[in-house]
Amino acid sequence: MNPHKTNLRVLLDDVLPASAEDHGPSRAQVLAMLHRERVRRRRWHTGTALVAVSALLLLPLLWKNHHSSSPTVGSAASAARVPARTITIEHVNDEQLLTLLHGTPAALVEWPNGDRTLLVVKH
């Protein structure tokens, strides 16, 4: 006979519950938990959609206020503003390009397909 039979029985009783014991939630409890989770998710999605729609509706108002707060053409603030300098160049050689980019962070990137792109950081 096995001297540890009582120890094995205790272990089996711990691992395998008796048939009269509770084996977890009933079908009704699982359905109730599922229903609560669906309601919670539906509320979350509805709330998120409401916030998104509200933000989209308020965006034109904020955009309009932002543009209306900028000074008009005849104001003193616009007179003090220096006009932006624009440069239009169709074709430059390497020396002209280096002169234009003097003091400006720039990088020449060569892509795997052999194309090259000039990246200029504008501040």
**Assigned token pair, 22:** 């509770």
What's 92's DSSP letter? -
- Assessment of whether the complete model's pTM goes beyond 0.85: no
- pLDDT (tens digit per residue) in 38-51: 999 999 999 999 99
**Assigned token pair, 12:** 């089996």
What's 2's DSSP letter? -
| Residue showing tokens 């519950």 | 17
Q: Which residues contact 121 (CB under 8 A, 6 or more apart)?
A: 104, 105, 106
- pLDDT (tens digit per residue) in 60-109: 887 776 655 555 555 555 556 666 777 676 677 878 877 888 888 888 88
